[in-house]
Amino acid sequence: MSEALKGNMLIGQSGGPTMVINASLVGAIEEALRHPEIGRVYGAVNGMEGILAENLLDLTHEDRSIWEKIKVTPSTALGSCRLKVKDKHLERVLDVFRAHAIRYFFYIGGNDSMHTAHQVLQVAEAEGWEMRVMGIPKTIDNDLAEVDHCPGYGSAARFVITATKCIDKDNQALHPVQFIEAMGRDTGWIAAASRAAREDPEQDAPHLIYVPERPFDEDCFIEEVKEVYARLGRVLGVVSEGLRRPDGTQVTASTKVDAFGHAQLGGMGQYLVNLVEERLDLKARWDKLGTMQRSFAYCMSESDLAESYEVGRLAAWHATRGVTGKMLTLLREPGDEYLCTFGLTDLENVAEQTRYLDEKYVCQDRPDIDESFLDYVEPLALGRRITIGPEFITLARLKCYPVEKKLPEYKP
């Protein structure tokens, strides 16, 4: 173990929230507070945007009792951002670190966030500013490289499974053809989770599952809907928002892009409804799960919460022992009983990489997910749920003690 590095800690949250992202935040904070070499624990308001604006909170002032409540509060307690950090931003970032004696920096996010953390590490090393930089994984998309699964996915999967089961009952009553649109710009992990909702293979939804890893063809889609409708007199399908045609283009992509160059997607569910109504003359409707699949805390998974806390805690623990430039990984041990262990990988191994739904889980001859996927997803999603409150969730928020700014106002 290297000599203790004394200084302050800064932590930020980035990208789309999850039900359990605050558990990682709390894990890192509570572990940091155990180490005397870490002076103050600061939080960046809205991630890198807050760092550039020197908009920091002193989390050391917060009442220690708040963290257990924040831990089970969905979304980001510090706020989030989707800022693509460029070279022009990095000098300012380092100025903020120097001004506030930041020697420990933790960034919670997905693959773009790991790229950002790697950039910060590189500029700190180039400028001779000694610090420890650690990435803490999260994403409901479950698409990070180097891991078996991502913190946040299990709870989102649980919500999709629950929603599919319940909407299936509604579909039986009134709606002959219906689609559920799940998140998943590039990968089908979230929509695939709905497979666990099907108990009776002949009757229960989802009857069709469409994911980006299986090319989408309109004519095949119409025939697939016709077959299910002829057999059951109704159809309930689950679809990822980012379906792709055989040539690789996204079906509903618009010309608008976000800060990272990702095309903004239109309503895939509405697109499928239009196809059915125009070509089959059947009544159809769709439901968009939207942000509920990442924020509906009543579906928080116990294993997801525990693992999310642990990756945050371990990030701080490793950093105080001299580790830097790494992201925590979640690994599944072989065997009949589910067991997750934790490791480390270089930030650059995860930065801007995408892990797609495994080929073995995608049925290429039909719009479905192989039964073997259940062994993968059920331990993550269907363990005992978290009891947050007897009737209504009590959500917590930080009191927010701002840190005095020491630099001139930032003008982008």
Residue 145 near residue 353, CB atoms below 8 Å:
yes
Closest CA to 326 of 148, 147, 98, 58: 147
Catalytic member of 141, 186, 304, 368? 141
Residue 110 near residue 15, CB atoms below 8 Å:
yes
The reply to whether 168 belongs to the active site is no
Residue 171 near residue 205, CB atoms below 8 Å:
yes
Looking up tokens 């998943």, which residue turns up? 184
Find the length of the chain.
412
Amino acid at 12: G
What are the residue numbers of the active site? 141
